[in-house]
């Protein structure tokens, strides 16, 4: 399974865009990139996922490089409630293979 590398922590000013990077240089062609976040020890919450193209939903945008070796999660207007640990996960092509979480990025949104 592909592994991911994320910065340990990041700060972002409230109202500004938060850009969270993720490296997944060994990703396979059919593996998806998923992003989850965990707010204060609650269960992880799904944010967005993508395969090749950039994706956008009501929560965030996902930018995947053309070579698919890295991606960036963008929270366009960060609020204090976006303070959380953000996990970048590569989903195995084989659906029945377990998902492995890294340590994620702790995003602190500052007023």
Structure tokens at 96: 């029945």
Pairing of strands 70-75, 61-64: antiparallel
What is the widest separation between alpha-carbon atoms in the chain?
42
- In the bound state with other proteins, the residue whose beta carbon lies nearer, of 4 and 70, is 4
Least gap, CB of 70 to other proteins (angstroms): 20
Would you call 70 helix, strand, or coil by DSSP?
strand
CB distance 60 to 35 below 8 Å: yes
Binding region for other proteins (CB under 8 A) out of 9-17, 60-68, 69-77, 96-104: 96-104
Q: Which is nearer to other proteins, 12 or 87 (CB)?
A: 87
Please report whether residue 103 would count as binding other proteins according to CB under 8 A: yes
Rounded distance, CA 17 to CA 66, Å?
22
Among 12-20, 44-52, 65-73, 74-82, which window interacts with other proteins (CB under 8 A)?
44-52
Interface contacts to other proteins, rule CB under 8 A: 34, 36, 41-46, 49, 85, 87, 95-96, 98-104
């Amino acid at each position: 399974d592909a592994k991911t590398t994320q910065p340990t922590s990041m700060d972002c000013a409230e109202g500004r865009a938060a850009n969270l990077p993720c490296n997944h240089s060994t990703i396979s062609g059919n593996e998806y990139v998923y992003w989850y976040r965990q707010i204060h020890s609650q269960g992880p919450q799904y944010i967005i996922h993508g395969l090749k193209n950039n994706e956008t939903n009501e929560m965030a945008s996902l930018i995947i490089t053309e070579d698919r070796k890295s991606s960036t999660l963008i929270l366009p207007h960060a609020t204090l409630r976006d303070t959380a640990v953000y996990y970048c996960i590569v989903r195995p092509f084989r659906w029945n293979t377990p998902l492995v979480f890294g340590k994620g990025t702790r995003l602190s949104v500052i007023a």
